[in-house]
Chain A
Amino acid sequence: EIVLTQSPGTLSLSPGERATLSCRASQTVTNNYLAWYQQKSGQAPRLLISGASKRATGIPDRFSGSGSGTDFTLTISSLEPEDSAVYYCQQYGSSPPITFGQGTRLQIK
Chain B
Amino acid sequence: QVQLVESGGGLVKPGGSLRLSCEVSGLSVSDYYMSWIRQAPGKGLEWIAYMSSSGNTKYYGDSVKGRITISRDNAKNSLHLQMSSLRPEDTAMYYCVSRSGWYSAFENWGQGALVTVSS
Contacts and interface: CB of A to CB of B under 8 A. Distances in A.
Contacts of B111: 43-44
Interface extent on A, as a size class? 20 to 34
A98 B104 contact: no
Interface in A50-94: 50-51, 56, 88, 90, 92-93
- Chain B interface size range: 20 to 34
Interface of chain B, helix or strand or loop or mixed?
loop
A100 B109 contact: no
B112 A100 contact: no
Contacts of B105: 33, 35, 47, 50-51, 56, 90, 92
Contacts of A43: 111
Nearest to B63: A97
Contact of B47 (A35, A47, A56, A99): A99
A45 B45 contact: yes
Interface of A: 31, 33, 35, 37, 43-47, 50-51, 56, 88, 90, 92-93, 95-103
Interface of B: 35, 44-47, 50, 59, 61-62, 95, 99, 103-107, 109-112
